[in-house]
């Protein structure tokens, strides 16, 4: 079974980008290094750093959660990131600084 993740990236300009993926390590690398596979938004704001993620059961749930996260204000997203970091240590393999 494929697992999906919803994630937030912090861009070099301190903005936040939200997306979904089945492989966070690959996707963060694409955002940082790919000429064709990274999002247009993040290409102009590199480097990006993974600051938050959730694992969900399906692409449908991932898309729904992505929509919910995108509706949050920047302040609410920052609070979510702060709470996440208080509970988790992100693996260095998925954090690109």
The pLDDT tens digits of the residues spanning 14-69 come to 999 999 999 999 999 999 999 899 899 999 999 999 999 999 999 999 999 999 99
Residues 45 and 5 sit within 8 Å (Cβ to Cβ): no
- Tell me the fold of 4-94: GIY-YIG endonuclease (3.40.1440)
Distances in Å between the alpha carbon of 83 and those of 24, 64, 76, 96? 20, 21, 11, 20
Q: In the chain, what are the domain boundaries?
A: 4-94
The whole-number pLDDT of residue 1 equals 79
As given in the structure block, the two tokens for residue 47 are 């480097």
- What is the model's pTM? 0.88
The whole-number pLDDT of residue 97 equals 44
């Amino acid at each position: 079974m494929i697992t999906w993740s919803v994630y937030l990236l912090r861009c070099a300009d301190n903005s936040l980008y939200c997306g979904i993926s089945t492989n966070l390590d690959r996707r963060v690398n694409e955002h940082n290094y790919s000429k064709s596979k990274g999002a247009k938004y993040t290409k102009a704001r590199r480097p990006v750093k993974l600051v938050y993620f959730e694992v969900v059961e399906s692409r449908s749930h991932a898309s729904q959660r992505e929509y919910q996260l995108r509706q949050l204000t920047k302040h609410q997203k920052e609070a979510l990131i702060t709470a996440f970091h208080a509970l988790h240590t992100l693996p260095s393999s998925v954090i690109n600084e």
